[in-house]
Amino acid sequence: MKRTKKGGLLLSMLLLFGIIVPMVGADPIPQTHLFLSLDTKWEHANPGDAFVVRADVKNIGDNPAFLIQARLQNVPDDWAVQSQSFPWILVLEPGQTKPLFFIVERGQTDATIYAEAEAYNAPMVISNRIPIPVGIGVIVALSFIGGVLFYREATIRKKHTK
Amino acid sequence: MGHTLDIAIRASILLICLGYIVLAFPGYAPLPELTAQVNAQVLNTAGIHTISLQRYVVVSFSQADRIYELSSECSGLLVYLMFLIGIAVVPYFSVSNRLFALLFLPILFMGNALRILFGILIGYRFSVDASEFFHATFGQVLIFFWVLVCFILWLKLTRNFPKEE
């Protein structure tokens, strides 16, 4: 197998973080945190459609992140996922964003996929966002109540001044 | 003169609201960013590691970091607009009373930030599903209740609250 420069770097980093650092007994790598967002390109409404998933990983902590890997989750069995040949980000400086790509061929089953990313020195982050929305029904109902109250108040005040 | 000034202030408030709705669309900066920052500060003070990034709040849960996304409406946009439009539309308030109402904007902001904070804390203590349930139900009622409380408080403080005949 041909040894690439990136492969060599990965191997030496794995050696450092997996063997040398634990053997020394101290963890000199400070913790950081990641942010993950997913984006898809190409239509994928029908079975057999292939599309590209781009996972953007951002280092939102104060220290560099090492050995970052992202995985797609909630992928049905009849879907095929092909990640890029080198599915790692070796180093991510604070504030820096780098993408990882996946080619997905969808099957019969419908699914909403999401991703997880983690680094050697960063906890796992899940791309699924927890929305904090306001329901449209609530807005309509309360606008109506508010409107009635304001109208009533305005009418009373007009009457008082006459 | 006083009446003209009152009309000018009311029209200005309404125009500012309208202008903000149109010009700040769709991000409505800096409301979501400010709300996210305040929440991150409070959660960090409470010992829960949190980072705010634009309109996102990244909270370190025990298993993984979870990302909360603040929508524009949920950053208090509707709350402030409801309050301000109410203040501007209702006639026969004095100019000073209308200007006094502007002091309630930070109170509304903090109320909304607290609501989001409660939701995140529920997610942290219990589960993400519980957090979403809180936002979809109690949280929405709470924030509009907070607007009403602020409005009534403003009426009381300015001695404009309707009295029994």
| Residue span of the structural domain in which A81 resides | 26-130
Query: What does pTM read for this prediction?
Result: 0.80
A33 and A70 inside one domain: yes
Whether B119 and B42 have beta carbons less than 8 Å apart is answered as: no
Interface touch A60/B51, C-beta < 8 Å: yes
Whether A101 and A84 have beta carbons less than 8 Å apart is answered as: yes
- Mean pLDDT value of segment B146-161: 87
Determine the residue type at A115.
A
A156 and A116 inside one domain: no
Name the residue among B68, B91, B92 with its Cβ closest to that of A130.
B68
Q: How confident is the model at residue A119 (pLDDT cuts 50, 70, 90)?
A: very high
A89 and A158 inside one domain: no
Disruptive mutation site among B14, B44, B67 for chain A (greatest number of A CBs within 10 Å): B67
C-beta atoms surrounding B87 within 10 Å: 23
Interface touch A33/B60, C-beta < 8 Å: yes
B131 interface with A at CB cutoff 8 Å? yes
Q: ∠ CA(A87), CA(A93), CA(A99), 5° rounding?
A: 35
A75 and A91 inside one domain: yes
- Residue A40 in domain: yes
Residue B147, min C-alpha distance to chain A (Å): 10
- Residue A13 in domain: no
Q: Are strands A34-41 and A50-59 parallel, antiparallel or unpaired?
A: antiparallel
> Which H or E element spans position B128?
helix B128-134
Structure ipTM over 0.95, yes or no: no
- Residue A6 in domain: no
The structure tokens listed for A100 are 């990882």
pLDDT in tens, B14-34: 899 899 989 988 888 888 999
- Mean pLDDT value of segment B146-163: 85
Q: DSSP 3-state assignment of A145? A: helix
A123 and A48 inside one domain: yes
Q: Total domain count for chain A?
A: 2
A122 and A155 inside one domain: no
A151 and A88 inside one domain: no
A56 and A111 inside one domain: yes
A51 and A121 inside one domain: yes
Quick one: residue A51, left, alpha or beta (phi over 0 = left, psi -120 to 50 = alpha)? beta
> Which H or E element spans position A157?
helix A136-161
A108 and A43 inside one domain: yes
